[in-house]
Amino acid sequence: MERLTDRRILITGAASGIGRATTLRLLAEGARVVAADIAEEGLKETLALAGTDRLTARVLDIADEASVNAVVDAAAAELGGLDALVNTAAILRGAHTHECSLELWNRVIGTNLTGTFLMTRAALPYLLDSGRGVVVNFSSTAAFFAHPLMAAYSASKGGVFSFTHSIAQEYARQGLRAVNVVPGGIRSGITDNIGGSVPKDTDWDMFLKLTPALPGGMPGPEKVAGVVAMLVSDDGAFITGTEIRIDGGAHQ
């Protein structure tokens, strides 16, 4: 199935996890993609796995305004415009809230929320010009349900949720769609490294309620990638200002 043969897409967080899986799925459906991430070696691996000239890569710090503006402009120039922006890039740093430093708080908010804003702001003129622009932002089940030790992460993803609804309403009459994808219990770069992102005295029993209800444990990121491919295609043409939760029924 090649639903995206005429789509020009910029995706962040493409060096690993959900971002990489989504990049490969978009390419498999025919899109031309610019993959961006701060991790240059991971981007090289994504390029090697893709093995197609429809993918190029750009090193990007989404928390840096100059980096964002330069990469978005370069991607639009290379692709001849933009039809979709997929913001998967994020970080997770856990802490007991009473021990959470301002530096940690600002870093998480600056990357996850401000980074999503900067990417979207820079891409909006190109997306609006396409006449069928789509912004897919990544919130999290942490924004809606109690996830321990994740105050900064939860706040950042709650902000992404609200931001996405705001732009969906603001630009709907100009043909732009904006949707939140809300993963939970998915294997990704963040979940693979969560042990090093939370305090050493973490009570892991607190996380048991995050286990998917469906059998098989935590699935791979391809379960999310297929949903994103649908959202940026014509199959998602009447979906905006809402969210799709992908958590295997963990939060029913």
Are residues 100 and 84 in contact, defined by beta-carbon separation less than 8 angstroms?
Answer: no
Give the strand pairing for 55-59 and 84-87: unpaired
Are residues 94 and 150 in contact, defined by beta-carbon separation less than 8 angstroms?
Answer: yes
DSSP assignment of 58-80 equals EE--TT-HHHHHHHHHHHHHHHT
Amino acid code (one letter) for 63: A
Give catalytic residues, as residue numbers: 153
First to last CA, the chain: 32
Instruction: Tell me how far apart the alpha carbons of residues 141 and 160 are, in angstroms, rounded to a whole number.
Output: 12
Alpha helical stretches, state H, the chain = 17-28, 40-50, 65-79, 102-109, 115-130, 151-171, 189-192, 222-232
Instruction: Name the DSSP class of 219.
Output: P
Sheet with strand 177-183: strands edge to edge: 55-59, 32-37, 8-12, 84-87, 134-138, 177-183, 242-246
> Residues in the chain, how many?
252
Structure tokens at 27: 């390419």
